[in-house]
Amino acid sequence: MIRIVILMLVLCLMAGCVNNNKFCMEVDVRTRVYPEKGKSYYTDYEKKPTCTVDCLPGLSLARPAVNAYGSLTGRKADSTGFFHAVKIDNRWFLADPCGLLHINTGVCSVSPMRTDAGTENMKKKFGEEKNWMKETVALLKSNSFNCAGAWSDVELIRDYNKTNDPLAYTVIVNFMSKFGEKKGLTHQQAGHKGYRNDALPVFDPLFPAFCDSLAKTLSQYRDDRNLVGYFTDNELPFYPNSLVNYLLLPAGDANYIATMQWMREHKYDEKNLTDEAKHNFLALIGDKYFSVITAAIRKYDP
């Protein structure tokens, strides 16, 4: 219902904009055409009049006061010196190191393109990477972005953050994908790692020790107030049908053995899997994964 109301509100605003002929900008648009099944092509770009939020009559786009982290300077929680979660009036918020409530709007892959052409063009325009970083932060903040997401150049950002205009950042660790790769259980998919049978090896007895070893490297960030947090992995296959995938693993696999033991303990029938069994197993592997990686992270960066 909430989504429907929001959609209706947006449509009404856009309709009002159109009726008043308040198209205030043009954008380049192209169309994807499907002449027949399995085939498609794009048309050439052409400019189209566009109605955006700033076209709305009477709308004030004055920027609110924010601090160096892009947090509104109104509501405040306790200051811990780090980004942290806080519960206020039975609602969870993210607070910045100063204690101000914070809405994190990040951009992934904030990093120079280090191909030959990218490096050459960067040097021509910026000279050094630190100059690129300075202008990139200014560009992000001028568009109300306040954080560098996963796959960003953490060391370049941390070096820039020695100034008085810090950019909050995150670190992607890849606990599971690195462990799976080490065990020879992964393959490359579009944008992320795939796993044998889409079954995460969370029950492998070596997984906790591997995570502990990898988490040791995170101690370098434990005192950095500009760190928002960690991406533990990317696009893991927590699927509704995961139980079936685990049951198709080789009989000697530790993850198959753990799954069968769980099935027997809960008196589930392998030949008649219920939605309840699948749901509970999904909760089991999720809890196993997050409990292991959380313990490892908090050991070295509490």
pLDDT tens digits, 147-157: 999 999 999 99
- At residue 260, φ and ψ (nearest 5 deg) are -65, -35
Give the pLDDT score at 193: 94
Give the pLDDT score at 229: 98
CB 116 within 8 A of CB 107: no
Give the pLDDT score at 22: 59
The pLDDT confidence band at residue 8, using thresholds 50, 70 and 90, is: very low
Top pLDDT among 111 and 25 is at 111
> Cα separation of 229 and 118, whole Å?
29
The pLDDT confidence band at residue 146, using thresholds 50, 70 and 90, is: very high
Give the pLDDT score at 1: 42
> Cα separation of 300 and 302, whole Å?
6
pLDDT tens digits, 43-62: 999 999 988 877 788 887 78
CB 104 within 8 A of CB 146: yes
pLDDT at 180 over 50: yes
Burial of 23 (0-12, 13-18, 19+ CB in 10 A): middle
pLDDT at 2 over 80: no
pLDDT at 167 over 50: yes
pLDDT at 264 over 90: yes
**SS3 call for 282:** helix
| Dihedral (CA of 224, 226, 230, 231) sign | negative
- Other C-beta atoms closer than 10 Å to the C-beta of 226 total 21
pLDDT at 15 over 60: no
Give the pLDDT score at 256: 98
> Cα separation of 259 and 254, whole Å?
9
Instruction: Tell me 53's DSSP state.
Output: G
Q: Which distant-in-sequence residues (6+ apart) come within 8 Å of 143 by Cβ? A: none
Question: H or E segment at 157?
Answer: helix 154-160
- At residue 33, φ and ψ (nearest 5 deg) are -110, 135
pLDDT tens digits, 198-234: 999 999 999 999 999 999 999 999 999 999 999 999 9
- Other C-beta atoms closer than 10 Å to the C-beta of 300 total 16
Average pLDDT, the chain: 91
Q: What percent of the chain has pLDDT over 90?
A: 82
> Cα separation of 255 and 248, whole Å?
10
pLDDT at 78 over 80: yes
The pLDDT confidence band at residue 296, using thresholds 50, 70 and 90, is: very high
Tokens 């909050």, residue located? 168
Give the pLDDT score at 34: 93
Provide the token pair at 81: 């010196």
> Cα separation of 207 and 219, whole Å?
19
> What is the full DSSP assignment across 227-267?
EEEEE--SS----TTHHHHHHTS-TT-HHHHHHHHHHHHTT
> Cα separation of 241 and 12, whole Å?
40
Give the pLDDT score at 52: 80
- At residue 63, φ and ψ (nearest 5 deg) are -75, 130
Give the pLDDT score at 21: 53
Provide the token pair at 246: 């685990």
> Domain coordinates of the chain in residue numbers?
2-55, 64-103, 106-169, 173-302
The pLDDT confidence band at residue 245, using thresholds 50, 70 and 90, is: very high
